[in-house]
């Protein structure tokens, strides 16, 4: 039993290490290419183009203008070819998007997109007179008196009430939440495609033949012993990559050092939307929300650089470890490619499938198996001591 378990642990240890490389490569590409921001850009372009077809030609420019608003993004606007490196925000709220659309449509900036697009923006945010009349008739009679003491509150109330008169804008907001769900699914699919491509690269680069690896783990005791000795180190790498703080956690830590009065989240923050919600719900006395958001934006930029640097260092370490293992498991590279056959191609394709399951999956499997191995070894030790005990 222990023999089979050791062989399986040795095999999964190598698979986990390769999966960690795929995970790190995926995280680096997602952050470097700003895929979350580009995914949001793609979705908002489609949304406004569907609601107001006359904006289709200028939809990207309009959405970039909104996402580049200082209230949404602290990144400086880039032009020309450099625009492809523009870091777009990964999230925007429905209310923020609609308000900025109205503001853009009513400003002189709308003219930079051309007369047709400017008219399209006005059509998108225009108020329907009949609907406006209904909303006016529904207002409370004592609104004027209340306005004297609560002008700001009433202003918000009026905006929400009259917003319903903007028929197309209401349609846009209706579809906005559905769009966010679909964008999340689309981003997951894109990440999965990147992970599969990374798995193909790793399997080919390290000649990772799962069939051959499993056979060697069962038949070569010396190799099996060496791989088992490496499992603890591989698990530590897994904990560092999968269990470390996120970009947003690191940014909050930096913000806390700069603003001691700021309240840190009690749990790890996984998305930019969650980070923004926490910032809004936890203002700092004597510090404006805009200043706090700007400080957090700078801290987040530094956190991304730090995290990517750390991931890069771990990637080099894992690559070296797997390279050494690869030579032990599969032999000389030249010999491997010369003897490439259907069986080895099948083994590498199986490796791609296994790596595509993700590092968290293999990390949990390996953790459970090592715990089981420890329990079996304790039971065997107890049985041995019983046998040796005098009758």
d(CA 215, CA 4): 12
Task: Report pLDDT digits (tens) over 281-307.
Answer: 788 887 777 777 778 778 877 777 777
Q: Grade residue 335 by pLDDT with cuts at 50, 70 and 90.
A: low
Q: Is 331 left (phi over 0), alpha (psi -120 to 50) or beta?
A: left
Closest C-alpha among 233, 380, 247 to residue 318: 233
The answer to whether 26 touches 366, Cβ cutoff 8 Å, is: no
d(CA 271, CA 14): 30
Q: Grade residue 351 by pLDDT with cuts at 50, 70 and 90.
A: very high
Whether 196 has a pLDDT exceeding 90, the answer reads: yes
Distances (CA, A) of 195 to 22, 192, 276, 372: 6, 5, 28, 30
What pLDDT does 82 receive?
43
Residue 105 in tokens: 């449509």
Q: What is the mean pLDDT of the chain?
A: 78
d(CA 219, CA 291): 63
Q: What is the DSSP letter of 166?
A: -
d(CA 42, CA 143): 42
Closest C-alpha among 269, 50, 91 to residue 180: 91
For 233-250, b where at least 16 C-beta lie within 10 A, e where not — what string?
ebbebbeebeeeebbbbb
Task: Please give the biggest Cα pair distance in the chain.
Answer: 101
Position with higher pLDDT, 15 vs 73: 15
Closest C-alpha among 199, 221, 233 to residue 328: 221
Q: Grade residue 71 by pLDDT with cuts at 50, 70 and 90.
A: low
Distances (CA, A) of 123 to 48, 50, 101: 11, 13, 11
Whether 20 has a pLDDT exceeding 80, the answer reads: yes
What pLDDT does 148 receive?
53
Task: Report pLDDT digits (tens) over 76-127.
Answer: 554 544 454 457 777 788 888 888 888 888 888 888 888 888 888 888 877 7
d(CA 318, CA 326): 12
Residue 374 in tokens: 């420890």
Position with higher pLDDT, 273 vs 221: 221
- Find tokens 């070819």 and name the residue: 81
Give the highest mean pLDDT range of 110-114, 307-311, 322-326. Answer: 110-114
What pLDDT does 145 receive?
58
DSSP per-residue letters across 237-297 = HHHHHHHSPPHHHHHHHHHHHH-TTSPPPSS---SHHHHHHHHHHS--TTS-HHHHHHHHH
Cα angle at 37 between 194 and 278, to 5 degrees?
Answer: 115
d(CA 208, CA 91): 38
CA atoms within 13 A on the CB side of 381: 6
Mean pLDDT of 334-338: 59
What pLDDT does 234 receive?
82
Task: Report pLDDT digits (tens) over 116-174.
Answer: 888 888 888 777 667 666 666 666 666 555 555 555 555 566 566 566 667 787 788 88
Mean pLDDT of 36-51: 89
d(CA 262, CA 285): 9
The answer to whether 212 touches 364, Cβ cutoff 8 Å, is: no
The answer to whether 281 touches 228, Cβ cutoff 8 Å, is: no
The answer to whether 90 touches 145, Cβ cutoff 8 Å, is: no
């Amino acid at each position: 039993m222990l023999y089979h378990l050791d062989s399986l642990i040795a095999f999964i240890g190598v698979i986990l290490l390769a999966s960690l490389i795929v995970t790190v490569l995926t995280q680096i590409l997602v952050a470097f290419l700003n895929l979350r921001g580009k995914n949001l850009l793609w979705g908002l372009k489609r949304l406004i183009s569907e609601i107001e077809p006359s904006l289709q030609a200028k939809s990207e420019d309009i959405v970039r203008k909104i996402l580049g608003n200082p209230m949404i993004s602290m990144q400086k606007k880039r032009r020309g070819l450099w625009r492809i490196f523009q870091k777009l925000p990964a999230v925007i709220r429905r209310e923020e998007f609609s308000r900025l659309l109205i503001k853009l449509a009513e400003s002189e900036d709308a003219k930079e997109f051309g007369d047709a697009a400017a008219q399209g923006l006005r059509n998108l945010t225009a108020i329907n007179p009949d609907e406006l009349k209904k909303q006016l008739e529904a207002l409370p009679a004592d609104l004027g008196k209340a306005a004297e003491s609560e002008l700001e509150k009433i202003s918000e109330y009026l905006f929400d009430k009259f917003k319903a008169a903007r028929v197309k804008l209401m349609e846009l907001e209706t579809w906005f939440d559905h769009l966010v769900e679909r964008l999340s699914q689309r981003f997951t699919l894109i990440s999965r495609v990147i992970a599969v491509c990374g798995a193909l690269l790793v399997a080919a680069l390290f000649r990772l033949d799962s069939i051959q690896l499993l056979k060697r783990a069962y038949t070569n005791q010396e190799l099996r012993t060496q791989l088992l000795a490496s499992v603890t180190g591989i698990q530590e790498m897994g904990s560092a990559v999968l269990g470390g703080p996120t970009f947003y956690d690191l940014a909050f830590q930096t913000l806390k050092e700069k603003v001691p009065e700021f309240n840190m989240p009690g749990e790890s923050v996984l998305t930019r939307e969650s980070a923004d919600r926490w910032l809004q719900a936890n203002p700092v006395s004597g510090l404006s929300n805009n200043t706090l958001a700007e400080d957090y934006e700078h801290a987040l930029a530094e956190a991304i650089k730090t995290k990517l640097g750390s991931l890069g260092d771990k990637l080099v370490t894992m690559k070296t470890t797997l390279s050494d293992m690869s030579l032990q498991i599969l032999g000389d590279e030249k010999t491997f490619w010369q003897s490439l056959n259907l069986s080895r191609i099948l083994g590498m394709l199986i490796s791609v499938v296994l790596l595509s399951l993700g590092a968290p999956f293999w990390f949990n499997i390996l953790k459970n198996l090592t715990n089981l191995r420890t329990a079996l070894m304790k039971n065997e030790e107890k049985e041995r001591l019983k046998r040796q005990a005098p009758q």
